Structure 1
Amino acid sequence: MTGAKRHELAARVQRDRNMLEGETRSIRLNDGTSVRLARFGHGPLVICVGTVPELGFVYAPHIRALESRYQIVVYEPRMSRSERVSVEDRAEELTAVAESLDEGPAHVLSWSDAGAAAYSACIRRPELFRSAAFLGLADAYFFPGPLNLLAKQLYHRPIERLFPAIVLRLLLSHYLSGRCISPLWVYSETRRIGKLPLYFKHSILPLMLEHDSSQGEVPFPTLMVAGGQDTLVQVRQARAMAHILGPRCEFVLLPEGEHFLGYAAPETVGEALIQFYTSADKTAENTE
Structure 2
Amino acid sequence: MSRKPADEAEGVIEDNEYVNAPVRPEDKAPPDRRLLFSSPSLPLLAVCWILLLLIMGLRIYFSSVISEQNVKLIKENQELMKENQELMKENQELSTEGKNSELKNVIQELKTENQELKENFTKQITDLEDNWEKFNVSRAQWTIDSYCPADTSKVRRCSACQRGWDQTQKSCYVFHNSEAPPHPKTWEEARENCRGRGADLVVVHDEEEKNVIDGYIRDLYVSKGYWMGLRVEGGTWKWIDGTNLTDASWIEPPAEGHCAVSLPTRTWTSVKCDEKRTRICSQKALSV
**TM-score normalised per structure 2:** 0.25
- The structure having more radius of gyration, on CA atoms, is 2
